[in-house]
Amino acid sequence: MSAEQELLRDGLGKFLTTRYTLEASRAAAKTGSGWQPEIWRSFADELGILGASLPESVGGSGGGPVESMVIAEKLGRAQVIEPYIDTVVVAGGLLQRVGGAAAQTVLERICEGSAVGALAVTETGSGASRTLTPATVLPTGATCTFTISASGVRNGAGIALATNVTATFTVTSGTVSGYYAQVNTSSPDQLRCSLHATIKGHTKYPYSGSGQNVWTILEVAQQDPNNPNKIIDVYRNRSYTIGSDRAGTPAVPIPPRMQTSITISCC
């Protein structure tokens, strides 16, 4: 790694440590664009990371894959939800391959932070009936515009549409609230991708091994109130000794009045 790349890594790491919080990120995910526009502007104006891997001809720094990996690693570690991968890596990479004046203009806007990329939709159906499913979450309550480019739609004779077709719509808000407020229940596909976006940032713990794991968490969350050295198995209605009985060997039945149901939330 070069000195410039180390400087990029350290500068971004310091910014995320001092100015990026999960609380603000999760709050932003439930409203508006689904991320923090002011943070995005700082990525462009203060840090210059949006153009770090893009050519100097479009206002970038002329970097490449290493810069992208350094940035993505730091953003991932901080659980950043701003669309860096969609915009810079995916859209930026494709636009460089396409080339031309239009692509040049969009790349310049990406570098300056005024353009954001989004993954395309997938299409199912045939004939005049088609279903388009976005690969990224549509924020609940957002107003969206869908445009069909006339030149991209042709009939059997190869004749294109006369003009572009534009449709504006508002994303259904659904019936959820609180932590799951951004989950979109308007369709199975939207439910799937928006639910994934909500829960994917959770902390994962191994089933066993050294350090904190599923067992050490359960030994605290399901501690037997009558014996701190035991854990209650609510499924088997048994009390096990912490540590030694993890495989489910010697057990003492739990009286019915002590049975309980415990839910662990890592959010």
User: How confident is the model over 200-227, as pLDDT tens digits?
Assistant: 667 777 877 778 887 778 778 888 888 8
Query: Residue 179 contacts by C-beta under 8 Å, 6 or more apart in sequence?
Result: 198, 267
Among 199, 232, 249, give the residue marking a domain's end.
199
Provide the CATH number for the domain around residue 105. Answer: 1.10.540.10
**Model pLDDT, residue 75:** 93
Calculate ∠ Cα 28-48-182, nearest 5°.
15
Interval 54-72: pLDDT, tens:
999 999 999 989 999 999 9
Judge contact between 146 and 156, C-beta under 8 A.
Answer: no
34 and 68 both lie in a single domain:
yes
**Model pLDDT, residue 193:** 74
Judge contact between 183 and 169, C-beta under 8 A.
Answer: no
Calculate ∠ Cα 149-151-152, nearest 5°.
70
Interval 31-51: pLDDT, tens:
766 788 899 999 999 999 999
Calculate ∠ Cα 237-210-23, nearest 5°.
85
Confidence (pTM): 0.48
Which element (helix H / strand E) includes 123? strand 121-126
Full residue range of the structural domain in which residue 228 is found: 202-267
Judge contact between 196 and 188, C-beta under 8 A.
Answer: no
**What rounded mean pLDDT belongs to the chain?**
78
Among 147, 180, 199, give the residue marking a domain's end.
199
Judge contact between 95 and 106, C-beta under 8 A.
Answer: yes
Among 199, 218, 235, give the residue marking a domain's end.
199
Tell me which residue has tokens 């490449």: 64
pLDDT category at 53 given cuts 50, 70, 90 is very high
Burial (CB < 10 A; 0-12, 13-18, 19+), residue 256, is: exposed
